[in-house]
Amino acid sequence: MVVEPEHAAVNGRERPQRPQTTHREVADELRARIRSGRLRPGQRMPTQAQLAEEFGVERGTVRQALRILQSERLLTNVSKGSPATVAPDLYGPQAGPEARPMPTTVALASRIAAAFAAEHVEVDALCLTSVSLTLALGEPLRQIHAGRLKPAKIDVRVLLPSSDIDLAFPVAVSGGAAVGPVHKRWLAMRNAQGQVLQHNLLGLRATHGIDVRVSFRALPFTPPVKLYVLNGSEALFAYYTLSRREQEIDHEPLEMYDAEGIRSTLFAFDQGGGLRDGVFVKQSRLWFDALWGTISSELVLTG
């Protein structure tokens, strides 16, 4: 019997098997192929059997991944029968009255990648943890490393809740101590995501000679919305919608009120998209600048 290399024994011990690929990982890879153009609007996808073989998973896992992309309006005709199809209107209007609101996971990366085509990139973000922003920056960073994007200067400013406040959410349903396990979990995520974001962007100084500045400031309140202002000409806005859910923290199940920001519906407004859009972008810039220059304070991504 032939032993697979990844399962072969080493010093009498069997190597652990690779972790099973999840449906979300399959969806992430297919989403990246659609965004990059490898899978074009209107193109038929490989069959579920072909995808299952490629990713080494069951067909049920593939179907779950395809349903995610269908819910994000990236695919049509997802069924057990014929292959799905990449949405034909994938690159429709991105802003203005005709723009179709989409989940943050779908819309943000493409808009930030487009913003990085400018010589001087400016990204202002107000959010709860910066998870969505860190994920979205992966696409333009890949394009920079591939030589397809070449900005000369990048300025990123991020407003996040202060670690010293009692958050409105996430919060334990039962209440309890202000600095309890839910707060500690949020703080660890906020700090980790901010540090990754900062590290990845500042690394462009050494690798590509880009003038990069990344700044964080702390808000004295929990933002009920998330906002991204790109190059001063586009504003992306989403509500944090709360739900009650159970999360395991420190190996204990805990009921909490929380919002999954990466799935929030993102509304896009462009400076050139008409009077309504232009005013919204202008007011968003003024609001962000006012918060940055008045009641926010220095933020250190530790503790």
> Above pLDDT 90, what percent of the chain?
54
* pLDDT score recorded for residue 99: 60
pLDDT band at 176 (very low <50, low <70, confident <90, very high): low
The helix or strand, by DSSP H or E, that contains position 115, with its residue range, turns out to be helix 104-115
Decide if pLDDT at 150 tops 70.
Answer: yes
Among residues 156, 159, 74, the alpha carbon closest in space to that of 115 is found at: 156
Most confident of the ranges 95-99, 107-111, 240-244: 240-244
* pLDDT score recorded for residue 9: 46
Decide if pLDDT at 7 tops 80.
Answer: no
Residues 189-204, mean pLDDT to the nearest whole number: 96
Handedness of CA 288, 224, 115, 273 (dihedral sign): negative
Cα angle 183, 185, 187 (rounded to 5 degrees) comes to 70
Q: What is the dihedral of CA 137, 276, 160, 155, to 10 degrees?
A: 50
Q: Name the pTM for this structure.
A: 0.71
CB-based contacts of 286: which residues, under 8 Å, 6+ apart?
A: none
* pLDDT score recorded for residue 73: 74
- Whose tokens are 């696409």? That residue is 139
The whole-angstrom separation of Cα 263 and Cα 243 is 12
Rounded to the nearest 10 degrees, the angle between the axes of helix 59-71 and helix 48-55 is 110
C-alpha distance across the termini of the chain, in Å: 53
Cα angle 33, 34, 36 (rounded to 5 degrees) comes to 65
Q: DSSP readout, 181-221?
A: HHHHHHHHHHHHHHHHHHHHHHHHHHHH--EEEEEEEEESS
Report, in this order, helix, strand and coil percent for the chain, each rounded to 5.
Answer: 40, 25, 40
Q: Give 153's strand partners.
A: 120, 211
Cis peptide before 170 (omega within 30 of 0): yes
The whole-angstrom separation of Cα 205 and Cα 198 is 12
Among residues 179, 141, 151, 187, the alpha carbon closest in space to that of 299 is found at: 187
Residues 94-122, mean pLDDT to the nearest whole number: 80
Residues 137-151, mean pLDDT to the nearest whole number: 90
Residues 60-81, mean pLDDT to the nearest whole number: 82
Q: Give 156's strand partners.
A: 123, 214
Q: Express each pLDDT in 75-98 by its tens digit.
A: 888 876 678 888 876 545 555 555
